[in-house]
Structure 1
Amino acid sequence: MSASETTSPATIPRWHVEGDWFDTCRCDVPCPCTFAQPPTYGACDGVLAWHIDRGSYGDVPLDGLNVLMVASFTGNVWGEHSDAYAGVFLDERADEAQREALLMIFGGQAGSWPAELNSMFGAEMRGMDTAAIEMSVDEDLGSWRVSVPGRVDAAGEALTGPTTPEGRRVQSTNMPGSETGPGQVVTWGRATRNRVDAFGFEWSRDGQSSKHIPFDWTGPDGA
Protein backbone atom coordinates (compact mmCIF):
# COMPACT_ATOMS: atom_id res chain seq x y z
CA MET A 1 0.00 0.00 0.00
CA SER A 2 1.50 3.35 -0.93
CA ALA A 3 0.55 6.97 -1.28
CA SER A 4 0.55 8.57 -4.70
CA GLU A 5 3.59 10.71 -3.96
CA THR A 6 6.64 10.42 -1.75
CA THR A 7 6.22 12.63 1.31
CA SER A 8 9.06 13.77 3.54
CA PRO A 9 8.69 13.56 7.34
CA ALA A 10 8.71 17.36 7.50
CA THR A 11 5.46 17.51 5.52
CA ILE A 12 3.57 14.85 7.51
CA PRO A 13 0.96 16.49 9.77
CA ARG A 14 0.09 15.42 13.28
CA TRP A 15 -2.20 12.42 13.16
CA HIS A 16 -3.92 9.89 15.37
CA VAL A 17 -6.29 6.96 14.74
CA GLU A 18 -7.89 4.50 17.11
CA GLY A 19 -10.48 1.79 16.70
CA ASP A 20 -11.11 -1.90 16.09
CA TRP A 21 -9.15 -4.49 14.12
CA PHE A 22 -9.92 -8.14 13.56
CA ASP A 23 -8.94 -10.97 11.26
CA THR A 24 -10.18 -14.34 10.03
CA CYS A 25 -7.50 -16.73 8.86
CA ARG A 26 -6.52 -20.30 7.96
CA CYS A 27 -4.84 -21.12 11.29
CA ASP A 28 -6.28 -23.30 14.04
CA VAL A 29 -7.45 -21.53 17.22
CA PRO A 30 -5.51 -19.77 18.64
CA CYS A 31 -3.59 -18.31 15.70
CA PRO A 32 0.15 -18.92 16.30
CA CYS A 33 1.08 -15.74 14.41
CA THR A 34 0.00 -13.64 17.39
CA PHE A 35 2.48 -15.63 19.48
CA ALA A 36 5.19 -14.79 16.88
CA GLN A 37 5.24 -18.43 15.73
CA PRO A 38 4.81 -19.92 12.23
CA PRO A 39 1.20 -20.44 11.15
CA THR A 40 -0.50 -23.77 11.84
CA TYR A 41 -0.10 -25.09 8.30
CA GLY A 42 3.15 -23.37 7.37
CA ALA A 43 1.39 -20.78 5.23
CA CYS A 44 -1.54 -18.53 6.02
CA ASP A 45 -4.07 -16.38 4.26
CA GLY A 46 -6.83 -14.26 5.68
CA VAL A 47 -8.91 -11.12 5.96
CA LEU A 48 -7.75 -8.15 8.04
CA ALA A 49 -10.17 -5.31 8.77
CA TRP A 50 -9.76 -1.92 10.50
CA HIS A 51 -12.53 0.42 11.64
CA ILE A 52 -11.47 3.91 12.74
CA ASP A 53 -13.66 5.02 15.64
CA ARG A 54 -11.82 8.32 16.01
CA GLY A 55 -9.06 9.73 13.89
CA SER A 56 -7.58 12.64 12.01
CA TYR A 57 -4.66 13.34 9.71
CA GLY A 58 -3.87 17.00 10.17
CA ASP A 59 -7.18 18.73 9.44
CA VAL A 60 -8.63 15.68 7.65
CA PRO A 61 -11.21 13.79 9.78
CA LEU A 62 -11.15 9.99 9.54
CA ASP A 63 -13.88 9.01 12.01
CA GLY A 64 -15.95 6.03 10.92
CA LEU A 65 -13.86 4.96 7.91
CA ASN A 66 -12.87 1.36 7.17
CA VAL A 67 -9.88 -0.34 5.55
CA LEU A 68 -9.80 -4.01 4.55
CA MET A 69 -6.92 -6.20 3.41
CA VAL A 70 -6.72 -9.75 2.09
CA ALA A 71 -3.26 -11.25 2.38
CA SER A 72 -1.18 -14.42 2.31
CA PHE A 73 2.36 -15.48 3.24
CA THR A 74 4.52 -18.52 3.95
CA GLY A 75 6.63 -18.87 7.12
CA ASN A 76 6.77 -16.74 10.25
CA VAL A 77 5.47 -13.27 9.44
CA TRP A 78 7.57 -11.89 12.33
CA GLY A 79 10.74 -13.55 11.08
CA GLU A 80 11.75 -15.49 8.01
CA HIS A 81 8.87 -15.60 5.52
CA SER A 82 8.22 -15.47 1.80
CA ASP A 83 5.46 -15.25 -0.80
CA ALA A 84 3.80 -12.31 0.93
CA TYR A 85 0.94 -10.87 -1.14
CA ALA A 86 -1.87 -8.46 -0.35
CA GLY A 87 -4.81 -6.59 -1.83
CA VAL A 88 -6.51 -3.60 -0.20
CA PHE A 89 -9.97 -2.06 -0.18
CA LEU A 90 -10.40 1.57 0.91
CA ASP A 91 -13.75 2.88 2.15
CA GLU A 92 -15.67 4.33 -0.81
CA ARG A 93 -17.13 6.98 1.50
CA ALA A 94 -13.70 8.60 1.84
CA ASP A 95 -13.11 11.73 -0.23
CA GLU A 96 -9.81 12.38 -2.02
CA ALA A 97 -8.10 13.92 1.03
CA GLN A 98 -9.27 11.08 3.27
CA ARG A 99 -8.12 8.42 0.82
CA GLU A 100 -4.69 10.03 0.65
CA ALA A 101 -4.55 10.12 4.47
CA LEU A 102 -5.51 6.43 4.70
CA LEU A 103 -2.80 5.56 2.19
CA MET A 104 -0.20 7.53 4.12
CA ILE A 105 -1.11 5.94 7.47
CA PHE A 106 -1.82 2.35 6.49
CA GLY A 107 0.89 2.33 3.84
CA GLY A 108 3.47 3.23 6.50
CA GLN A 109 4.67 6.54 5.01
CA ALA A 110 3.33 8.46 8.01
CA GLY A 111 5.36 6.41 10.50
CA SER A 112 4.27 4.80 13.79
CA TRP A 113 3.25 1.12 14.02
CA PRO A 114 2.00 0.72 10.41
CA ALA A 115 5.48 1.69 9.18
CA GLU A 116 7.06 -1.05 11.30
CA LEU A 117 4.51 -3.65 10.22
CA ASN A 118 4.83 -2.81 6.53
CA SER A 119 8.60 -2.98 6.78
CA MET A 120 8.45 -6.45 8.37
CA PHE A 121 5.71 -7.87 6.13
CA GLY A 122 6.97 -6.50 2.82
CA ALA A 123 3.99 -7.74 0.81
CA GLU A 124 3.70 -7.48 -2.95
CA MET A 125 0.49 -5.61 -3.75
CA ARG A 126 -1.93 -7.46 -6.01
CA GLY A 127 -4.35 -4.57 -6.22
CA MET A 128 -6.20 -1.75 -4.54
CA ASP A 129 -9.81 -0.66 -4.91
CA THR A 130 -12.46 1.48 -3.26
CA ALA A 131 -15.55 -0.35 -2.08
CA ALA A 132 -18.57 -0.30 0.18
CA ILE A 133 -16.99 -1.87 3.28
CA GLU A 134 -19.61 -2.84 5.84
CA MET A 135 -17.98 -3.51 9.21
CA SER A 136 -19.31 -3.87 12.74
CA VAL A 137 -17.98 -5.00 16.11
CA ASP A 138 -20.25 -5.78 19.05
CA GLU A 139 -19.70 -3.46 21.99
CA ASP A 140 -19.22 -6.48 24.27
CA LEU A 141 -16.87 -8.12 21.71
CA GLY A 142 -19.26 -11.03 21.31
CA SER A 143 -18.83 -11.00 17.54
CA TRP A 144 -17.44 -8.99 14.64
CA ARG A 145 -18.08 -8.94 10.88
CA VAL A 146 -17.00 -7.25 7.64
CA SER A 147 -18.08 -7.53 4.02
CA VAL A 148 -17.48 -6.15 0.55
CA PRO A 149 -20.48 -7.32 -1.48
CA GLY A 150 -19.57 -10.18 -3.82
CA ARG A 151 -15.89 -10.13 -2.87
CA VAL A 152 -15.30 -10.56 0.89
CA ASP A 153 -17.49 -11.97 3.65
CA ALA A 154 -15.77 -12.49 7.01
CA ALA A 155 -17.09 -12.80 10.54
CA GLY A 156 -16.05 -14.18 13.90
CA GLU A 157 -17.55 -14.84 17.29
CA ALA A 158 -15.87 -14.76 20.68
CA LEU A 159 -14.42 -18.07 21.79
CA THR A 160 -16.29 -19.83 24.61
CA GLY A 161 -16.14 -23.21 26.31
CA PRO A 162 -17.45 -25.24 29.23
CA THR A 163 -15.47 -23.26 31.80
CA THR A 164 -15.76 -19.76 30.30
CA PRO A 165 -17.78 -17.55 32.70
CA GLU A 166 -20.92 -16.19 31.05
CA GLY A 167 -20.31 -12.84 29.38
CA ARG A 168 -16.52 -13.03 29.85
CA ARG A 169 -14.08 -13.08 26.96
CA VAL A 170 -11.05 -15.29 26.34
CA GLN A 171 -8.27 -12.72 26.21
CA SER A 172 -4.48 -12.43 26.22
CA THR A 173 -2.05 -9.63 27.03
CA ASN A 174 1.61 -8.91 26.29
CA MET A 175 1.47 -10.91 23.06
CA PRO A 176 4.81 -11.21 21.22
CA GLY A 177 3.14 -10.85 17.81
CA SER A 178 0.23 -8.44 18.28
CA GLU A 179 -0.82 -7.34 14.79
CA THR A 180 -1.85 -3.86 15.94
CA GLY A 181 1.23 -3.15 18.04
CA PRO A 182 2.45 -3.56 21.62
CA GLY A 183 0.26 -3.28 24.70
CA GLN A 184 -3.10 -4.28 23.22
CA VAL A 185 -5.54 -6.92 24.52
CA VAL A 186 -6.34 -9.82 22.17
CA THR A 187 -9.85 -11.28 22.28
CA TRP A 188 -9.86 -14.78 20.82
CA GLY A 189 -12.62 -16.03 18.57
CA ARG A 190 -13.56 -18.49 15.87
CA ALA A 191 -14.41 -17.55 12.29
CA THR A 192 -18.05 -18.13 11.40
CA ARG A 193 -17.41 -16.94 7.81
CA ASN A 194 -14.18 -16.50 5.87
CA ARG A 195 -14.86 -16.15 2.15
CA VAL A 196 -12.85 -14.21 -0.41
CA ASP A 197 -12.90 -13.75 -4.17
CA ALA A 198 -10.75 -10.67 -4.80
CA PHE A 199 -7.33 -9.63 -6.17
CA GLY A 200 -6.62 -13.19 -7.31
CA PHE A 201 -7.30 -14.63 -3.84
CA GLU A 202 -10.08 -17.18 -3.55
CA TRP A 203 -11.08 -19.28 -0.56
CA SER A 204 -14.12 -20.32 1.46
CA ARG A 205 -13.71 -21.75 4.92
CA ASP A 206 -15.34 -21.48 8.32
CA GLY A 207 -14.41 -22.53 11.84
CA GLN A 208 -10.77 -21.48 11.95
CA SER A 209 -9.09 -18.72 13.97
CA SER A 210 -10.39 -15.19 14.36
CA LYS A 211 -9.37 -12.51 16.82
CA HIS A 212 -10.11 -8.91 17.73
CA ILE A 213 -7.45 -6.41 18.80
CA PRO A 214 -7.96 -2.65 19.27
CA PHE A 215 -5.49 -0.23 17.71
CA ASP A 216 -4.34 3.21 18.84
CA TRP A 217 -1.66 4.87 16.71
CA THR A 218 -0.17 8.35 16.81
CA GLY A 219 2.28 9.89 14.36
CA PRO A 220 5.91 10.21 15.46
CA ASP A 221 6.87 13.21 17.62
CA GLY A 222 7.25 16.24 15.46
CA ALA A 223 4.94 14.93 12.73
Structure 2
Amino acid sequence: MAWQISGQYMETCNCTFLCPCVVTNIQGMPTEGACKAALAMHIEKGNKDGVALDGIDFIAILESKGPMGAGNMTVGLIVDSAASEAQAEAVTAIASGSAGGPMAMMAPLVGKFAGVERAKVSITRDGEKWTARAGDFVDQTCEGVLNMEGKPLVIDNASHPVSPRIALAKAVRSVFNVFGIQWKDETGTRNGHYAPFSWSG
Protein backbone atom coordinates (compact mmCIF):
# COMPACT_ATOMS: atom_id res chain seq x y z
CA MET A 1 0.00 0.00 0.00
CA ALA A 2 1.06 3.59 -0.54
CA TRP A 3 2.16 5.61 2.48
CA GLN A 4 2.62 9.28 3.24
CA ILE A 5 3.86 11.45 6.08
CA SER A 6 4.16 15.22 6.40
CA GLY A 7 5.25 17.54 9.17
CA GLN A 8 8.25 19.46 10.47
CA TYR A 9 11.93 18.61 10.74
CA MET A 10 15.03 20.11 12.37
CA GLU A 11 18.62 18.95 12.64
CA THR A 12 22.03 19.82 13.98
CA CYS A 13 25.37 18.38 12.96
CA ASN A 14 29.00 18.65 14.05
CA CYS A 15 30.16 20.63 11.00
CA THR A 16 31.06 24.27 11.40
CA PHE A 17 28.40 26.51 9.81
CA LEU A 18 27.81 26.24 6.86
CA CYS A 19 27.98 22.45 6.48
CA PRO A 20 29.74 21.53 3.22
CA CYS A 21 27.55 18.46 2.61
CA VAL A 22 24.59 20.43 1.23
CA VAL A 23 26.55 22.74 -1.05
CA THR A 24 28.72 19.93 -2.48
CA ASN A 25 25.91 17.37 -2.99
CA ILE A 26 27.36 15.25 -0.12
CA GLN A 27 30.79 15.01 -1.77
CA GLY A 28 32.56 17.52 0.50
CA MET A 29 34.73 16.56 3.47
CA PRO A 30 32.98 17.33 6.78
CA THR A 31 34.73 20.14 8.65
CA GLU A 32 35.66 17.74 11.48
CA GLY A 33 36.67 14.94 9.10
CA ALA A 34 33.63 12.89 10.12
CA CYS A 35 29.95 13.83 10.02
CA LYS A 36 27.64 13.35 13.00
CA ALA A 37 24.05 14.53 12.69
CA ALA A 38 20.64 14.14 14.33
CA LEU A 39 17.55 14.68 12.16
CA ALA A 40 14.42 15.16 14.26
CA MET A 41 11.03 14.65 12.58
CA HIS A 42 7.54 15.50 13.84
CA ILE A 43 4.80 13.84 11.80
CA GLU A 44 1.73 16.06 11.70
CA LYS A 45 -0.24 13.76 9.40
CA GLY A 46 0.63 10.32 8.13
CA ASN A 47 -0.31 6.70 7.62
CA LYS A 48 1.19 3.47 6.35
CA ASP A 49 -0.67 0.23 5.65
CA GLY A 50 -3.67 1.47 7.62
CA VAL A 51 -1.56 2.53 10.62
CA ALA A 52 -2.13 6.19 11.56
CA LEU A 53 1.12 8.05 12.27
CA ASP A 54 -0.27 11.47 13.23
CA GLY A 55 1.72 13.07 16.06
CA ILE A 56 4.61 10.59 16.05
CA ASP A 57 8.11 12.00 16.66
CA PHE A 58 11.38 10.29 15.77
CA ILE A 59 15.06 11.13 15.35
CA ALA A 60 17.49 9.64 12.85
CA ILE A 61 21.11 9.63 14.04
CA LEU A 62 23.92 9.21 11.54
CA GLU A 63 27.69 9.14 11.39
CA SER A 64 29.87 9.22 8.29
CA LYS A 65 33.62 8.67 8.68
CA GLY A 66 34.31 10.95 5.71
CA PRO A 67 32.24 12.54 2.92
CA MET A 68 28.67 11.26 3.09
CA GLY A 69 28.78 10.45 -0.60
CA ALA A 70 31.53 7.89 0.07
CA GLY A 71 29.03 5.72 1.91
CA ASN A 72 29.56 3.31 4.81
CA MET A 73 27.45 5.47 7.12
CA THR A 74 26.09 4.27 10.45
CA VAL A 75 22.42 5.13 10.99
CA GLY A 76 20.09 4.50 13.92
CA LEU A 77 16.58 5.58 14.90
CA ILE A 78 15.03 6.81 18.11
CA VAL A 79 11.24 6.47 18.05
CA ASP A 80 8.99 8.14 20.60
CA SER A 81 8.08 5.73 23.39
CA ALA A 82 4.44 6.85 23.06
CA ALA A 83 4.25 5.20 19.63
CA SER A 84 2.73 1.72 19.43
CA GLU A 85 4.77 -1.20 18.11
CA ALA A 86 2.91 -1.02 14.81
CA GLN A 87 3.63 2.71 14.55
CA ALA A 88 7.30 2.17 15.41
CA GLU A 89 7.59 -0.53 12.74
CA ALA A 90 5.98 1.77 10.16
CA VAL A 91 8.28 4.67 11.03
CA THR A 92 11.33 2.39 10.91
CA ALA A 93 10.39 1.14 7.43
CA ILE A 94 9.94 4.72 6.20
CA ALA A 95 12.99 6.24 7.89
CA SER A 96 15.31 3.38 6.89
CA GLY A 97 14.27 3.63 3.24
CA SER A 98 13.05 0.02 3.11
CA ALA A 99 9.53 1.28 2.30
CA GLY A 100 10.84 3.43 -0.57
CA GLY A 101 10.44 7.18 -0.68
CA PRO A 102 13.10 9.87 -0.14
CA MET A 103 15.21 7.90 2.36
CA ALA A 104 15.59 5.04 -0.10
CA MET A 105 18.06 7.16 -2.07
CA MET A 106 20.28 7.27 1.02
CA ALA A 107 20.04 3.53 1.73
CA PRO A 108 22.97 2.53 -0.55
CA LEU A 109 25.20 4.85 1.48
CA VAL A 110 24.38 3.10 4.77
CA GLY A 111 26.91 0.48 5.80
CA LYS A 112 25.40 -0.26 9.21
CA PHE A 113 21.87 0.11 10.53
CA ALA A 114 22.46 0.42 14.27
CA GLY A 115 18.89 -0.37 15.25
CA VAL A 116 16.03 1.35 17.03
CA GLU A 117 15.87 2.85 20.51
CA ARG A 118 12.67 3.93 22.23
CA ALA A 119 12.60 7.11 24.35
CA LYS A 120 10.37 10.09 24.99
CA VAL A 121 10.95 12.33 21.95
CA SER A 122 9.82 15.95 21.92
CA ILE A 123 10.21 18.53 19.14
CA THR A 124 9.24 22.12 19.93
CA ARG A 125 9.36 25.46 18.17
CA ASP A 126 9.67 29.00 19.53
CA GLY A 127 9.67 31.41 16.58
CA GLU A 128 12.69 30.39 14.49
CA LYS A 129 14.22 28.36 17.32
CA TRP A 130 13.75 24.60 17.33
CA THR A 131 14.54 22.10 20.08
CA ALA A 132 14.50 18.31 19.97
CA ARG A 133 15.14 15.96 22.87
CA ALA A 134 15.11 12.19 23.19
CA GLY A 135 15.64 10.81 26.68
CA ASP A 136 19.36 10.84 27.51
CA PHE A 137 20.26 10.29 23.85
CA VAL A 138 19.75 13.66 22.15
CA ASP A 139 19.43 17.28 23.28
CA GLN A 140 19.68 19.77 20.44
CA THR A 141 18.57 23.30 19.61
CA CYS A 142 19.03 25.28 16.42
CA GLU A 143 18.15 28.88 15.64
CA GLY A 144 17.41 30.21 12.17
CA VAL A 145 19.80 32.57 10.40
CA LEU A 146 17.63 35.55 9.49
CA ASN A 147 17.79 38.25 6.86
CA MET A 148 17.36 41.97 7.61
CA GLU A 149 13.58 41.54 7.47
CA GLY A 150 13.68 38.82 10.11
CA LYS A 151 12.92 36.03 7.66
CA PRO A 152 14.97 32.81 7.60
CA LEU A 153 17.58 32.39 4.89
CA VAL A 154 16.97 29.21 2.89
CA ILE A 155 18.75 26.96 0.43
CA ASP A 156 16.45 26.05 -2.45
CA ASN A 157 16.73 23.06 -4.80
CA ALA A 158 18.95 21.28 -2.27
CA SER A 159 19.75 17.60 -2.78
CA HIS A 160 18.67 16.87 0.78
CA PRO A 161 16.67 13.75 1.64
CA VAL A 162 14.21 15.58 3.89
CA SER A 163 13.28 18.55 1.72
CA PRO A 164 14.62 20.41 -1.33
CA ARG A 165 14.09 23.71 0.52
CA ILE A 166 15.77 23.99 3.92
CA ALA A 167 16.31 26.94 6.25
CA LEU A 168 19.82 27.79 7.40
CA ALA A 169 20.38 27.62 11.14
CA LYS A 170 23.13 27.53 13.74
CA ALA A 171 23.23 24.87 16.43
CA VAL A 172 22.83 26.54 19.81
CA ARG A 173 23.23 23.18 21.54
CA SER A 174 24.07 19.85 19.98
CA VAL A 175 24.45 16.73 22.14
CA PHE A 176 24.27 13.11 20.90
CA ASN A 177 25.14 9.96 22.82
CA VAL A 178 23.58 6.89 21.24
CA PHE A 179 24.51 4.01 18.90
CA GLY A 180 28.19 4.68 19.73
CA ILE A 181 27.85 8.17 18.20
CA GLN A 182 28.92 10.92 20.59
CA TRP A 183 29.05 14.69 20.14
CA LYS A 184 28.68 17.72 22.37
CA ASP A 185 28.89 21.38 21.39
CA GLU A 186 27.37 24.59 22.74
CA THR A 187 29.53 27.16 20.94
CA GLY A 188 26.80 28.34 18.56
CA THR A 189 29.19 27.90 15.62
CA ARG A 190 27.88 24.56 14.31
CA ASN A 191 25.38 23.83 11.57
CA GLY A 192 21.63 23.30 11.66
CA HIS A 193 18.61 23.21 9.34
CA TYR A 194 14.84 23.04 9.56
CA ALA A 195 11.95 22.76 7.13
CA PRO A 196 8.47 21.41 6.59
CA PHE A 197 8.52 18.04 4.80
CA SER A 198 6.19 15.83 2.83
CA TRP A 199 7.18 12.26 1.95
CA SER A 200 5.35 9.46 0.19
CA GLY A 201 6.11 6.07 -1.22
- Normalised TM-score (structure 1): 0.81
Counterpart of 1:191 in structure 2 is 171
Task: Give 1:69 deviation, angstroms.
Answer: 2.1
8 A Cα contact 1:34 1:179, kept in partner: no
1:143 aligns with 2:129: yes
Q: Which residue of 2 aligns with 1:8?
A: none
1:53 aligns with 2:44: yes
In structure 2, relative to structure 1, the CA distance for the partners of 1:126 and 1:195 (3 Å cut) is same
Deviation beyond 3 Å, 4+ runs, structure 1: none
| Aligned CA distance change for structure 1 residues 86 and 112 (closer, same or farther; 3 Å) | closer
With normalisation by structure 2, the TM-score equals 0.89
The residue aligned with 2:157 is: 174
Q: Which runs of 5+ in 2 are unaligned?
A: none
**8 A contact 2:8–2:197 mirrored in 1:** yes
Instruction: Determine the structure 2 residue equivalent to 1:159.
Output: 145
Q: Match of 2:98? A: 109
> 1:110-158 CA deviation, whole Å, 9 max, x = no partner?
1111111222x214133421110011234x5x11111113221011001
Query: Do the aligned residues in 1 keep the contact of 2:71 with 2:111 (CA within 8 Å)?
Result: no
Conserved? CA contact 2:77–2:92, under 8 Å = no
Q: Equivalents in 1 of 2:145, 2:19: separation in Å?
A: 12
Give 5+ residue unaligned stretches, structure 1.
Answer: 1-12
Q: Distance in 1 between matches of 2:70 and 2:88?
A: 32
Give the structure with the larger strand fraction.
2
Quote the offset at 1:41 in angstroms: 2.9
Between the aligned partners of 2:88 and 2:137, the Cα distance in structure 1 is: 20
Among 184, 188, 193, the residue aligned to 1:204 = 184
**1:5 corresponds to which residue?**
none
Secondary structure, counterpart of 2:105 in structure 1: helix
Asked whether 1:18 is paired with 2:6, we answer yes
What is the CA-CA distance between 1:29 and the residue it aligns to? 1.3
DSSP 3-state at the match of 1:27: strand
Supply the distance in 2 between the matched residues of 1:110 and 1:197 (Cα, whole angstroms). 27
**Contact 2:71–2:110, Cα closer than 8 Å, also in 1:** no
Sort the Cα spacing of 1:17 and 1:137 in 2 relative to 1 into closer, same or farther, 3 A: same
Once superposed, what is the RMSD of the aligned Cα atoms? Answer: 1.7
User: Aligned partners of 1:81, 1:15: CA distance in 2, in Å?
Assistant: 27
1:91 and 2:80 are equivalent in the alignment: yes
Asked whether the 8 Å contact 1:20–1:137 carries over to 2, the reply is no
Distance 1:132 1:26 in 2: 23
Percent identity, aligned pairs only, is 30
How many Å apart are 1:204 and its aligned residue? 1.0
Map of 2:33 onto structure 1 = 42
Residue in 2 aligned with 1:4? none
